[in-house]
Amino acid sequence: MTRAAAALIAGLLGAAAHAQDKAAAGRGALVFESHCVLCHGADGSGGGRAAKLYAPRPANLTVSPFADDYKERIIRQGGTAVGRSALMPRWEDQLTDEEIKDVVVYLGTLVKRKNGRAAAGR
C-alpha cells in the first residue's frame, strides 16, 4: 500500500470516528436533558433548578478533570461508588449501557465548550 493510500484510509477512518462521536454526543445530550439538567443545569455548571436543595451542590461538569471511565462509573453506580456525594444517584437501572456511554461523550463536549474550543466531537 502506498503512503497516499494509507493516508487516505486513515483520514476516512478518522472522519468516521468523528461522525460517530458527534452522533453519540447528540444522543447523550438528549439523555442529559431528560435526566441530569434538573441538578447539573442545562450548561452542566451545577446550577440546575434543584441544585440549591443539595449540600454539597451538584458537580460543575464543565471543569471536570476526571477520565471517561470515572464519569461512566459515577453515572452507572452513583456518587458513593467513587467516594463522592450520595446525592448523585445511580442510573444503571434506568439507562442503557449505550445511553451512559453517550452521556459521557456529551460531557466531553461541555468541557470543550467551557474552554472555548469546538464542542463537536472529542
CATH assignment of 3-114?
1.10.760.10
Residues 101, 104, 108, CA angle at the centre, nearest 5°? 145
Residues 42, 46, 47, CA angle at the centre, nearest 5°? 70
* C-beta of residue 57 within 8 angstroms of C-beta of residue 46: yes
pLDDT at 28: 97
pLDDT at 64: 87
Q: What is the CA radius of gyration of the chain?
A: 17
Per-domain boundaries in the chain: 3-114
pLDDT at 3: 74
Per-residue pLDDT of the chain (122 residues; tens, 9 = 90+): 677 655 545 554 444 445 678 899 999 999 999 999 999 999 999 999 999 999 999 999 999 889 999 999 999 999 999 999 999 999 999 999 999 999 999 999 998 766 664 433 33
Residue whose cell numbers read 471536570: 64
**pTM of full prediction above 0.85:** no
Q: DSSP readout, 12-40? A: HHHHHHHHHHHHHHHHHHHHHHHHTHHHH
pLDDT at 100: 98
* pLDDT tens digits, 60-88: 999 988 999 999 999 999 999 999 999 99
